[in-house]
């Protein structure tokens, strides 16, 4: 979950809040990590 903060995309920060409110859904968590990889690709 900490990886979310590595990504400087605001959308990822919104996703992590949604995950915490829903007590983390496995499917959404996977989508969140996929988005982080996408953001890191844009930053690189």
**Amino acid 27: pLDDT:** 62
CA distances from 23 to 1, 20, 31, 40 (A): 12, 5, 15, 25
Q: Quick check: 44 pLDDT over 50?
A: no
The CB-based long-range contact list for 32-36 (8 Å cut-off, 24+ gap) reads 32/4, 33/3, 35/7, 35/9, 35/11, 36/3, 36/4, 36/6, 36/7, 36/12
Q: Quick check: 41 pLDDT over 70?
A: no
Predicted TM-score (pTM) of the model is 0.30
User: Mind listing the pLDDT tens digit for each residue in 4-40?
Assistant: 455 555 666 676 777 777 655 556 556 666 666 665 5
């Amino acid at each position: 979950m900490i990886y979310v903060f590595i990504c400087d995309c605001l959308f990822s920060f919104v996703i992590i809040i949604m995950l915490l409110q829903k007590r983390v859904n496995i499917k959404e968590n996977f989508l969140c990590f996929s988005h982080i990889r996408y953001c890191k690709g844009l930053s690189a």
